[in-house]
Amino acid sequence: MAQSLSADEVQSYRREGYLSPVAALTHEQAVEYRRHLENSERTFGPLRPGQKGTRSYLLFGWADELVREPAVLDVIEALIGPDILVTNLTIFAKAPRSPGYVSWHQDSTYLNLQPDDEQVTAWVALSEAPVEAGCMEVVPGSHVLGQLPHLETASPDNLLSRGQQLKVPADMTRRAFMPLKTGQMSLHHTYMLHRSGPNTTADRRIGLTVTYVPTHCRLTSHVRVSATLVRGIDRFGHFELQSPPKIDCDADAQAAHADAMRSHSDMRSLLRSGRGGPIQLP
């Protein structure tokens, strides 16, 4: 199991904006989480981004357990401190030999936080994720650019729910792939430019992105949105705290999930209009 990050690893993350690979789950744990995920798909239907595949920890006990894995949180704590919230989880599952991809974007486009640079995304591999399977690719050091303009585009193969992609050209001469073994994870900064390509292998490529923020972060949007406390104490109350599901995908869990999805959608609508903060999406 993983231990907390070394001083050199923390320094590398601060300098480059990402860290990979990082030990997270054992291989056996990852296989078991994949089994739970695929059982949920068989029972409740596809877990797609923007639907049940987003904020799945409000619907399924296994997803809530995953975002609270001690080995994962030990690493996150080394970067943002001991009081930790989860604001999002998205399941990105690419079918074998499929054209699905994720366009160049920044995670910060979805949240307008203060302080604005303390969001960390953990990308947890529940399958092998080599370059050929469409692992994540980053532009090292691009997090120093801050928030860049994005467009929303329509593409059936883009796995992002609104087809978000970088609007302005950026220097991408220095790029790095982040291949992962089953159970490993990568970490990236909220402003990191990143993407992933199609899966050309014979197996599903399953990755879960989990958004962690310290409890002292707040949204500048007028819309109050939800988060889940996964470690420590929330002394600030900037988010509406939500509890784990008692029964997978029952009426209460679906209502809590729908409420969370609605409030986050309302917040993004404000951001796109320019009335919810400085981020503007044309």
Query: How confident is the model at residue 277, as a pLDDT?
Result: 46
Which residues of the chain carry a pLDDT beneath 50?
1-2, 276-282
Query: How confident is the model at residue 273, as a pLDDT?
Result: 64
Query: How confident is the model at residue 170, as a pLDDT?
Result: 82
Query: How confident is the model at residue 3, as a pLDDT?
Result: 54
Beta-carbon count within 10 A of 167 CB = 15
> Model pTM?
0.92
- Which pLDDT tens digit goes with each residue over 42-62? 999 999 999 999 999 999 999
Whether domain 7-273 has CATH 2.40.40.20: no
Q: What is the 8-class DSSP label of residue 257?
A: H
User: Pseudo-torsion of CA 21, 210, 250, 47, nearest 10°?
Assistant: -70
Distances (CA, A) of 67 to 33, 127, 228, 259, 282: 11, 17, 10, 20, 33
Query: How confident is the model at residue 180, as a pLDDT?
Result: 98
Q: Are 88 and 55 in contact (CB under 8 A)?
A: yes
- Residues 235-242: contacts with CB within 8 Å, 24+ apart? 235/83, 239/85, 239/87, 242/58
13 φ, ψ (degrees, to nearest 5):
-60, -45
